[in-house]
Amino acid sequence: MKEIIITHSEDETRKIAESLGERINDPSVITLEGDLGAGKTTFTKGLGKGLEVKRIITSPTFTIIKEYIGRLPLYHIDAYRLEHSEEDLGLDEYILSDGVTVIEWAQFIADSIPDNKLAITINYLADEQREIIFETKDSHMEEKILDVIESLKGEKR
Ligand code: ADP
Ligand code: MG
């Protein structure tokens, strides 16, 4: 499936991510693609809120992986610095272990990404407008995305 949501503010992106986070109850892998400033970290913050993470989520650029405690553990990976890297960081152990693994710049560790991931692409449209594309082959994840979209319609009524 492929679904697209347009957001018009940082807050709106956060809320949508939070709404998705609230619906996640089992180990999942989410990849986030998009240019610098697209909103990948913003999305992760919202997702974390939905997973009841209390700590403030910050960009993991200098640490590669950050772990947060929530309803499920949240593993936030930034693979940017792993381009051309031969290093084996044991990332496979996080991916689909017990928690929700969010991976920015996942293309740099493509071999480790399972097929049933949720792939999110965020595109800059204008000042505060972003296009968020959700793609997945996982039927449970698909249900959650459709549910998030349905809940947005309810809000606008
Ligand atoms: P990335 O992690 O992709 O580099 P960030 O989430 O750190 O991006 O930053 C996104 C920036 O874009 C923030 O400064 C945020 O305020 C701004 N922004 C403006 N509109 C939006 C929107 N609709 N969704 C997400 N972020 C937005
Ligand atoms: Mg970021």
Q: Name the pTM for this structure.
A: 0.93
Q: State the CB neighbour count (10 A cutoff) for residue 129.
A: 13
Nearest-atom index, ligand 1, CA of 45: 6
Tokens of 22: 């609230």
Q: Which helix (H) or strand (E) holds 6?
A: strand 2-7
pLDDT at position 81: 78
Q: Report how far ligand 1's centroid is from the alpha carbon of 37 (Å).
A: 5
Q: Report how far ligand 2's centroid is from the alpha carbon of 115 (Å).
A: 23
Contact assessment for residue 22 and residue 148, using Cβ atoms and an 8 Å cutoff: no
Tokens of 128: 């505060």
Nearest-atom index, ligand 1, CA of 8: 23
128 CB under 6 A from ligand 1? Answer: yes
Q: Give dist(CA 154, CA 112) in Å, integer.
A: 37
Q: Report how far ligand 2's centroid is from the alpha carbon of 114 (Å).
A: 22
State whether residue 71 is helix, strand or coil: coil
Residue reference for tokens 């319609």: 153
pLDDT at position 125: 98
pLDDT digits (tens, 9 = 90+) for 59-107: 876 778 899 999 999 999 988 877 767 666 667 777 768 899 999 988 8
State whether residue 61 is helix, strand or coil: coil
Q: Give dist(CA 67, CA 75) in Å, integer.
A: 5
Tokens of 125: 């449209």
